[in-house]
Amino acid sequence: MELIEINARLRDIGIGVNDEQVVHVALFSLPSDYSNLRTSYNATESKWDLNKLISICVDEEDRIKKEKEPTKAVNLVEKPKWKEQNKLKLKKTTNTKVSGKPADSKAAKPFKFKFTFARR
């Protein structure tokens, strides 16, 4: 924008430069983040005027801001199915007898006390 204002002042005096030169100087004074914009300008056959350059620079600036925004990544991790299958197999093998009937677990049996009395 400063280049446009300076060029307007110079034109008032009578020594201004043409718009194509201002566009060229403005493009090559942009930071390195705008290198894609420079490349596309050099690749096109048509030359841009000042208004088109400003609108394209605004679009490019928005794109650069979106790229620099921190992204929120979420890792969704699921337990592997083979681990669940192994646990099921272990439960089946520990709770069954050889005959195929469920074994009595220790938690299911009531605890029995055996009392002995010592005589003196």
- Give per-residue pLDDT as tens, 82-119: 666 666 666 665 555 555 555 555 555 666 666 666 66
C-alpha–C-alpha distance, residues 101 and 95, integer Å = 9
pLDDT at res. 109: 64
pLDDT at res. 87: 66
Q: Is the pLDDT of residue 80 over 60?
A: yes
pLDDT at res. 120: 59
Taking the whole predicted model, whether its pTM rises above 0.75 is answered as no
What integer best gives the mean pLDDT of the chain?
75
Token pair belonging to 68: 């620099």
Count how many residues are written for the chain. 120
Q: Which residue has the higher pLDDT, 65 or 95?
A: 65
6 CB neighbour count, 10 Å cutoff: 13
* Secondary structure (H, E, C), the chain: CHHHHHHHHHHHHCCCCCHHHHHHHHHHCCCHHHHHHHHHHHHCCCCCCHHHHHHHHHHHHHHHHHHHCCCCCCCCCCCCHHHHHHHHHHHHHHCECCCCCECCCCCCCCCCCCCCCCCC
As a whole number, mean pLDDT of residues 39-53 equals 84
C-alpha–C-alpha distance, residues 33 and 27, integer Å = 12
Residue 16 · residue 10 · CB < 8 Å: yes
